[in-house]
Amino acid sequence: MKQRILSLLVIASMLILAFTTVAASPNKNIGINVLLNTEITDPILVDLGTHGKVRDLLPEINALAMQVRASELDVIRALPYVEYANPDATRNGAPVDTVMATDFMNGLSTWDLDAINVTDFGFNNRQVEFDGTGVYVAVIDTGLVDTWRQVFPEERIAEEFARSFSGGGGEVGFVSEQPNKWEHDQNSHGTHVASTIIGYNLRGTPVNGVAPMATIIPVKVLNQNGSGWSSVVARGITYIADLKKSGALGDSPVVINMSLGGPSLDAMEKAAIDYAIAEGVIVVASAGNAGTRGMGYPGAYEPVISVAASGWVGEWTAGAWWYALNVADPTDPEDFYIASFSSRELSGQDLDVAAPGSWVVGPYKLNSSNFPTYYYLGGTSMAAPHVAGIAALIMQKNAVLMQQDIDGLLVESAIPLPAGCRLVTQSNGLKKNICWDDDATGAGLVDAAAALAAAP
């Protein structure tokens, strides 16, 4: 199976990405991820070698990746030391100038930051006491475009910890590390996601971020097409958890943002998430763009803080609506809706909160041009970093909080958004009636100010 990054480039209309599953013949080589019920030992590796090729090891979580014939999967599942095994799941989702700023604290407010009560209309507009100072946010995604220094201050990107992992899928080859490839992305997805968290430079104009003084750790796990494999995602998660565990980041809190997903829960990815959470890392993921077909994973996995995509009824009602219009305070649920593409919660899935994910502006390169242009993107990929940024603000206030604490604060402080319909102006000037049910919103609209006020 292959998974794509959970965002959509929107120019005239939105496209909803479909999940696809590719069936394998018994003799076809496939990649599988194997979770053991014991530690990895040499005898186990020798025995597994009789069934296929071992491609990668993650001893921290007693897991490994293999290339095998499809007919061997059930045989491997039956081995006494194997807890679980599944096919590697797909996950979708150059000259340098330096930004003349160290942060975008006093940048202009965009509708999405106003909507979550981080900023208000205009400049110098922070509405919360905290700014993410001292917190690392790992963006596990496509990496950053090569001109990222024209968009972000160097001080906000932890180049020394940035990594790129590639491979996966078994037939593709080993999961390997690719030095410096993290800053040569051609997709732009990870750059746009990071811009929501720390803000960015819009051709000389500073634009605020949810946590503008947080430090981004770019971890590239998706290829230049914005797709990849859960084995590679697991490697990225484990890498960040190891940084936290080893003390390489000092006592700094760490948040992971994953704006990616696929239709099935992968055993290795699940184990990596459990490992990261146990080490005190906060894990946030997008809910998916599959609408009524249900949530994607890892977002649907219960311990993960999952995020649906909301929109604002003020969209396209003025030429510069995205920064020139003021979202009313106090937040009125009647001013918001849930995007039709945003994945709904099915039985056995867990949806936590909703955040702005429709028509979010940020830096994006459609080709190898020297400078990113700015596009409206729509998708739960855009919603997740709003929540990851809020988690960074909360961890700045109280660095000892754990995953379940942050999850509880976000859920309990959310503004309920009951099932309903809204008449929303489209980019073509026409109005569209957008409706949703209670399975689309989780606890409701995330509220940064309320979550911080409730945090101990």
Structural domains present in the chain: 3-89 (3.30.70.80), 111-454 (3.40.50.200)
Angle at 19 between CA 16 and CA 23, to 5 degrees: 155
Q: State the pLDDT at residue 15.
A: 28
Pick from 28-32, 95-99, 204-208, 437-441: least confident: 95-99
Q: State the pLDDT at residue 11.
A: 32
Q: What percent of the chain has pLDDT over 70?
A: 91
**pLDDT at residue 60 is higher than 90:** yes
**pLDDT at residue 397 is higher than 60:** yes
Using pLDDT thresholds of 50, 70 and 90, give the confidence band for residue 437: very high
SS3 per-residue string spanning the chain:
CEEEECCEECCCCCCCCCCECCCCCCCCEEEEEEEECCCCCHHHHHHHHCCEEEEEEEHHHCEEEEEEEHHHHHHHHCCCCEEEEEECCEECCCCCCCCCCCCCCCCECCHHHHHCCCECCCCCCECCCCCCCCCEEEEEECCCECCHHHCCCHHHECCCCCEEEECCCCCCCCCEECCCHHHCECCCHHHHHHHHHHCEEECCEEECCCCCCCEEEEEECCCCCCEEEHHHHHHHHHHHHHHHHHCCCCCCCEEEEECECECCCCHHHHHHHHHHHHCCCEEEEECCCCHHHCCCECCCCCCCEEEEEEEECCCCCCCCHHHHCCCCCCCCHHHEEECCCCCCCCCCCCCCEEEECCCEEEEECCCCCCCCEEEEEECHHHHHHHHHHHHHHHHHHCCCCCHHHHHHHHHHHCECCCCEEEEEECCCCCEEEEEECHHHCCCCECCHHHHHHHCC
Query: What is the distance between the alpha carbons of residues 390 and 396, in angstroms, rounded to a whole number?
Result: 10
**pLDDT at residue 262 is higher than 50:** yes
Q: State the pLDDT at residue 370.
A: 66
Average pLDDT, the chain: 90
* Catalytic center residues: 141, 189, 381
Q: What is the pLDDT of residues 4-28, one digit of tens each?
A: 455 544 332 332 222 223 344 677 8
**pLDDT at residue 141 is higher than 70:** yes
Task: Write out the two tokens for 359.
Answer: 């028509």
Q: What is the pLDDT of residues 338-388, one digit of tens each?
A: 999 999 999 999 999 999 999 999 998 876 666 678 889 999 999 999 999
Q: State the pLDDT at residue 13.
A: 31
Q: What is the pLDDT of residues 192-225, one digit of tens each?
A: 999 999 999 988 899 999 999 999 999 999 988 8
Query: What is the distance between the alpha carbons of residues 416 and 119, in angstroms, rounded to a whole number?
Result: 20
Q: State the pLDDT at residue 12.
A: 29
**pLDDT at residue 96 is higher than 80:** no
